[in-house]
């Protein structure tokens, strides 16, 4: 498929998502007035005072501290203003924010008829994250050079596809699985074209990758339906259900598996297609069957490391859950919805990697062989024409 066709299809799909009436939130009741809330960055200038609330401490049997802090607003409507904010520390590290002078914070500003109310809602982590991102991009450019630039472009395109097309599509009640497969198709083809160029090798790698990840998504859907899995595997999914109970949560889970496995599957697909292309260039006499065999040999090596990469990524993402359930009986552990969900995602993603090896090897071998034969025939035609003129 040509890149221009992919772009046209993406634009059409994006337009259909945008033009459809938004369903990002439930309609509030008629008498409900939504609060006017905004956010701004702030800097803690000083801790004015810090005292223990003894009554609350006795009630909750732990230390309850109230901080009164002076904060300067750094941007937004109240930029430059200095305000005093109370910050409550409840001996719960999940929610507590222990403020110090000089810290940057995120302010929640609620505009009321009596005036704005300021709250410290979190530590501002944006600057550190931007420095880390800058380091990552710099390493890509320094080590990768031109390929590093291509990698950055493909990452930006993938992020745009996920956050500005897939997410709005699911929130607008488009079917999650077809939407995820469509985004995976576009992302794969564009990434392959940017990284490997617009050629038969990229086409073969893209086709092998998207077929494999689609089959992995189908296997995940079967597991979700027959296990069954509810799709409520973490706190965030439960919070999403509270605001959007109309969404298809099992479908969202299957879509997450497809997107989660896509990167690793693309890596395997491009490795196999590139190796087969090189084999054919070095030895044009190789048959498709021999190319498939060579591609399978390469794929087997890549498959082991990439399957480990994917499974370890899921384990790392759910490590707190693993530690929490470490002492539970195995029968109970494996049947927990959250654990079963992570296992399903890791195994079905690895199935996609395993399937990618033969699918991409066969696809690449025959497509590259056909392309090389066609190219050779085109090169032979002028020579045959010249011979006929001489004769």
Do 204 and 288 contact (CB within 8 A), yes or no?
no
Same fold, 36-124 and 142-382: no
- CA distances 304 to 297, 308, 318, 335, 357, Å, are 12, 6, 22, 27, 11
CA distance 391 to 389: 5
**Per-residue confidence band for 21, with pLDDT thresholds at 50, 70 and 90:** very low
The predicted-structure confidence for 343-386, as pLDDT tens digits, reads as follows: 898 899 999 999 999 999 999 999 998 888 787 777 666 555 54
- Domain extents for the chain? 36-124, 142-382
Dig out the tokens for 320 from the structure.
Answer: 């707190």
Average pLDDT, the chain: 84
CA distance 272 to 204: 9
Q: Which of 49-53, 123-127, 130-134 has the highest mean pLDDT?
A: 130-134
What is the second-level CATH architecture of the domain 142-382? Up-down Bundle (1.20)
Helix (H) or strand (E) holding 54: helix 54-60
Average pLDDT value for residue range 123-144: 93
CA distance 153 to 134: 15
Does residue 198 come out as left (phi exceeding 0), alpha (psi in the -120 to 50 range) or beta? beta
CATH code that applies to domain 36-124? 2.40.50
The predicted-structure confidence for 187-227, as pLDDT tens digits, reads as follows: 999 999 888 888 899 999 999 999 999 999 999 999 999 98
- CA distances 51 to 56, 63, 96, Å, are 12, 10, 15
DSSP labels for 139-200?
Answer: HHHHHHTHHHHHHHHHHHHHHHHIIIIIHHHHHTT--HHHHHHHHHHHHHHHHHHHHH-SSH
| pLDDT confidence of residue 102 | 92
CA distance 17 to 282: 47
Q: Is the predicted pLDDT of residue 28 greater than 70, yes or no?
A: no
| pLDDT confidence of residue 383 | 53
pTM value is: 0.77
């Amino acid at each position: 498929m040509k890149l221009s066709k992919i772009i046209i299809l993406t634009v059409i799909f994006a337009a259909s998502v945008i033009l459809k009436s938004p369903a990002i939130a439930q309609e509030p009741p008629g008498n409900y007035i939504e609060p006017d809330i905004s956010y701004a960055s702030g800097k803690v200038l000083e801790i004015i005072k810090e005292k223990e609330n003894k009554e609350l401490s006795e009630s909750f049997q732990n230390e309850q501290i109230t901080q009164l802090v002076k904060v300067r607003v750094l941007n937004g409507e109240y930029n430059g203003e200095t305000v005093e904010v109370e910050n409550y520390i409840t001996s719960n590290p999940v929610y507590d924010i222990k403020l110090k002078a000089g810290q940057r914070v995120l302010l929640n500003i609620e505009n009321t008829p009596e005036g704005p109310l300021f709250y410290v809602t979190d530590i501002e982590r944006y600057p550190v994250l931007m420095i880390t991102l800058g380091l990552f991009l710099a390493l890509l450019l320094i080590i990768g050079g031109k390929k590093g630039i291509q990698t950055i472009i493909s990452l930006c395109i993938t992020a745009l596809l996920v956050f500005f097309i897939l997410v709005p599509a699911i929130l607008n009640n488009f079917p999650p699985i077809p939407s995820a497969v469509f985004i995976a198709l576009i992302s794969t083809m564009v990434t392959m074209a940017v990284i490997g160029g617009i050629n038969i090798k990229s086409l073969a790698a893209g086709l092998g990758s998207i077929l494999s990840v689609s089959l992995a998504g189908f296997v995940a859907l079967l597991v979700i339906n027959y296990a069954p899995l509810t799709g409520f595997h973490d706190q965030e999914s439960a919070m999403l259900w509270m605001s959007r109970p109309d969404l298809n949560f099992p479908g969202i889970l299957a879509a997450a598996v497809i997107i989660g496995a896509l990167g690793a599957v693309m890596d395997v697909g491009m490795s196999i297609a590139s190796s087969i292309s090189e084999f054919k260039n070095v030895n044009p006499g190789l048959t498709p069957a021999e190319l498939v065999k060579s591609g399978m040999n390469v794929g087997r090596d890549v498959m082991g490391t990439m399957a480990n990469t994917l499974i370890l990524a899921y384990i790392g993402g759910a490590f707190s859950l693993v530690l929490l359930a470490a002492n539970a009986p195995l029968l109970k552990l494996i049947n927990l919805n959250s654990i079963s969900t992570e296992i399903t995602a890791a195994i079905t993603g690895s199935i996609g990697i395993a399937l990618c090896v033969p699918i991409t090897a066969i696809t690449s071998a025959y497509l590259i062989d056909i392309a090389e034969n066609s190219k050779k025939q085109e090169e032979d035609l002028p020579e045959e024409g010249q011979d006929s003129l001489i004769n």
